[in-house]
Amino acid sequence: MALIRLRDISLAFGPESLLDNAELVIESGNKIAILGRNGQGKSTLLKVIDGEQQADSGEIVISDGVTISRLQQEVPAGEDNRCVYDVAATGHDDQTATALQQLYAEGSTDIDTNIDIWRASAAIQSIVSRLQLQPDAKVSTLSGGQKRRVMLARALVSEPTVLLMDEPTNHLDVESVLWLEAFLIKLPITLIFVTHDRQLIKNLANRIVEIDRGTLTSWDQTYEKFLISREQAIAAQETQDKLFDKKLKQEEEWIRQGIKARRTRNEGRVRALKKLREERAQRRAQIGQVNMQVQTKTKSGRIVFKLDKITHTLGGKTLIRNFSATVMRGNKIAIIGPNGSGKTTLLKAILGQLTPDEGSVEHGSNLEIAYFDQLREQLDENRTAADNVSGGADYIEINGERKHIMGYMQEFLFNPERARAPIRALSGGERNRLLLARLFTMPSNVLVLDEPTNDLDVETLELLEYTVLHYQGTVLMVSHDREFIDNIATSTIVLDGKGNLTEYVGGYSDYLHQAGPPVESKKNDKQKKKQAKPAEQTKADKKLSYALQRELSSLPGKIEKLEAEKTELETQLADPEIYQGDATVLEKLQARYTSLDQEIGNFYTRWDELESQNS
């Protein structure tokens, strides 16, 4: 069932067109992730759907009975001193909200109270309870993750048909992100959201809408399938463009022939050439790609930082207790934990910006540190983006290469107009790209990244990931992005908020595997074991049976066979001609490619299970 239809929507700010005759149909049950580069209009599209931003032309058709709500990132100014119930009630219109707040404050049991107000109040209590909040808790006392839950309650109290969310995981710790993701997966309404969190997109979205140079493209598939389909579509389009350009070149050569040829030329062919020229002029220019290159410095010493039994207390709360660690050259260490658990305090202790109450921190030799978070404070709001990077100079030097500042800014997708704009006019994503542009002008052998992925588009995030992964120096990073951590970290330091710090080898998924189930799960497991009949476990029971041993031995061969089939499929799918043929054949190939990935993953999982049993 179609809930909302966008027809021929166009919107421009000055010469920049964000939406160009855009079309979109939103169906009941959709969980749509909107993807696109920073500045392409993702947030603007949400505002257009919400009615906050009027389009220049086109129409939005909303079916009868459909209501739209939007999750705000921050608690509105002045609402922080209210209780959870009162803030949630503001999700209704002003008159209803006032009546609800009065009802809650007075605890009225007046029989004359409007029945709709009673029902609305009961709904608020129910939603607040589902979000694991206390209705009378003061919002100012809550953590960042809990405040986001309050805003979610505010968005849901009106029982909307469609919920819009713009970067819902920003500034949340990993634990809060996991809770929010689990809640949204179970939420039985239509969702439209913008996020840079690839894991959230993978786990939540059942449809992708890509915004690119004013055009909306809908992909009715999961994120993993979308990535494959988009690469194939780009390859097919490039092939088609080459064939088109070849034909246009031939026709242009024909039209330039001598006088005799022009006298006898086919007027129909001339008209066809004019049409080709028009089509070529209308082809949307491809946006450049971000080009990140870290400026490296002389190697640091082998030992970069050495922490020996450090303890630190802040405001009466012990954030770090008796923690020791050694950071070696080339390590890429992720730091995670609840908001307020001491992640930034740990970074400052490591960098020597604060002295721990107990213990010591030693620095290795030849350290050149570039600190991402500090740059936020150093940005001059009144200077242009380019001047903030170069300090006003026309040229900068990157790894011995002299570059003009405008050329360097274009590598980070700032055209001359945006590069000359004051940074107060930049979007959140553009600001973070600017910080990265400035960071990478600094020669370093230690990178310190505090939430570097906030507000970045997925494509820029992936390139940042690649750049940091191949950085030759040492990396310390605080992030709530699970996939970013998984793909980069060589080890992960976890803070529990009670002063305990534990270091695990690998990324976030490795930490979960090594840490085991939560305490509650362990208690439940113990209770189950007590209820089960006791049985003697012999030494032989711990080893694999003959059948399982044979299965283990067969797995490498099976995986190799599937990998070979996958390679063959990739070759077929890379052939542009496949997209010109039978669509059914193409769908079968794509389906088989997806199933192969799943089968290979299952075999690797089984291999790990059997190996662990056999050890």
How far is residue 602's CA from residue 245's CA, in Å, rounded to a whole number?
A: 45
Q: Which of 27-31, 105-109, 146-150, 221-225 bottoms out in mean pLDDT, i.e. has the lowest? A: 105-109
Mind listing the domains of the chain with CATH numbers?
2-225 (3.40.50.300), 303-515 (3.40.50.300), 539-614 (1.10.287.380)
Q: Are 321 and 496 in contact (CB under 8 A)?
A: no
Residue 259 has pLDDT above 50, yes or no: no
pTM: 0.66
Residue pLDDT, tens place only, 218-256: 999 999 998 888 888 778 877 877 887 787 777 777 666
Q: Are 454 and 169 in contact (CB under 8 A)?
A: no
What confidence category does residue 514 fall into, taking pLDDT thresholds of 50, 70 and 90? confident
Q: Are 3 and 27 in contact (CB under 8 A)?
A: yes
- DSSP calls for 428-484: HHHHHHHHHHHHTTS-BSEEEEESTTTT--HHHHHHHHHHHHT-SSEEEEE---HHH
Would the CA dihedral through 128, 151, 186, 122 be positive or negative?
positive
Over the Cα atoms of the chain, what is R_g? 29
Nearest to 194 by CA among 412, 45, 413: 45
Strands (E), 436-520: 446-450, 474-478, 491-495, 501-505
Q: Are 160 and 1 in contact (CB under 8 A)?
A: no
The predicted structure's pLDDT at residue 531: 46
Fill in the DSSP letter of residue 139.
Answer: G
* Angle, CA of 252, 254 and 257, to the nearest 5°: 115
Residue 61 has pLDDT above 90, yes or no: yes
Kindly state the percentage of the chain with pLDDT values over 70: 84
- Four-point Cα dihedral 145, 149, 152, 156, nearest 10: 170
Most confident range (mean pLDDT) of 5-9, 13-17, 94-98, 382-386 is 5-9
